[in-house]
Amino acid sequence: MALKQKSGETAGEAKKRRLVGFAKTDEGVEANKCIKIFLVSSKDEVGAKDGFCIDPMDLNQFFGEDGKIYGYKDLMISIWLSSVSFYAYADISYASAVDGGKGITDLKLALQDIFGEALLEKIDFLQTFSTDSHCVRSIISAGTVLRCYSFNEDAESSDNLSGGSFIEHQVVRMELCSLPVGLLYSRLVPLTFLLIDGSSPIDVTDSKWDIYFVVKKIQSHTGDYDLRLLGFATVYRFYHHPDSTRLRLSQILVLPPYQGKGHGRRLLETVNSVAIAENVYDLTVEEPSEYLQYLRSCFDTLRLLDFEPIKPAINSVASSLRTDFVSKKSCKSLAGPPTHAIEIVRQKLKINKIQFLRCWDILIYLNLDSKDRKIMENFKASISTRVQSDIFDKDTKSKGKHLIEVPNDYDHDMTFVLYCSQSGEESDCLDGMLDGAQADQKQQLNKLVDKQLEDIVEIAEKVSSLRSS
């Protein structure tokens, strides 16, 4: 009879268990940690690890729910993206590929989901530097030049231009439904995936789409020239009842090597100029990033500072906030621009109401003494009044209605009930339930107001700097 261990296991079984090894589960590697993307302008730069490396938003999002790649040891993926033709090539290296329990990620398929048909084999990719060296010029030269500008080229010394070249920057508008333009945009889509949070491709067959390219025109002394693509913006034309159009800026991107040099601002200025020239209803921006909203607010505030029709309204509010005491009732009237100001700004500058409200606070702040503690307290009170009105609307439609958070058994972030009192009266029991909620709301309100004040001050300082430069 075989001897049993305490667990009921025989000695033979215990020995067998010790001899059997268990394979380690494949933990995978995050895409962000093993993929590098380089922007190159010549085939000599392909393979060089010291080239311009793009910092994408999040590569993990393209590789399953956990953002990991499985089945490879010592995996390294280098992607070379041409700034000439916008084709791409992926160099994939690894020590071994073994299924460690979670399969082997199909890297080619995953990368094609990002780059589509723009992803080429190495030999074909290298050939594009000669066969497609003028593809940007051949397509964009057919567009309408809306703006020309120039500035110190020392900031772009990486271009290594030969002496005697004439350089000019242009903003060019084209219809996206044009076949050559649509094909060029399809090769730019991967950049939107990589550099614009939450971006998705647009329907290039829809005739309501326009694309604005910012390009660098390099003309030699012989008259020959080339165009280099620095960035682009896509704009959609919406119908507005009864007989007008609204413009919506959908995507705007300046290529990383050219960011921070004013090209994005020129794109915004050009789109705004088109909105005014064509007398559309207004211009909106689709889900702007935090930085784009910052840039847009700076630009619009600069325009509004020189807009004479609203100056009396700004001066009136600023004068009231300079008084020693501002009542709660007065704060409400000072919390936003008058209706006529909102309308004339939309009509003349094509700035929509929501954007004007953001800029209004900055305009008021710029007309106040930021070092005067009492004035700043009054200003903060006016901001708080408007924010509270926006969040906790207490008009007659909601009178007697309250949202009360309640605990739940399902670990949801929030569960609530809507309580409606009879004849607009609140019961004693409801008062007790609301005390804690109101205290929390007040704390959250203060945090929100403080954050808005920080944003106002930051933009105001940038605007002041731009005006004085």
Answer for the pair 438, 426: CB distance below 8 angstroms, yes or no. Answer: no
- Exposed/middle/buried for residue 117 (C-beta within 10 Å: 0-12, 13-18, 19+): exposed
Answer for the pair 245, 208: CB distance below 8 angstroms, yes or no. Answer: no
Distance (Å, rounded) from C-alpha 325 to C-alpha 62?
56
Q: Residues in the chain, how many?
A: 469
Catalytic residues: 286
Residues 6+ apart with CB under 8 A from 72: 29, 94, 95, 96, 97, 104, 105
Answer for the pair 164, 77: CB distance below 8 angstroms, yes or no. Answer: no
Which token pair is 159?
């271009």
State the chain's maximal CA–CA distance in angstroms.
104
Which token pair is 298?
């700076």
Residues 6+ apart with CB under 8 A from 414: 405
**Cα atoms in the 13 Å half-sphere on the side-chain side of 164:** 6
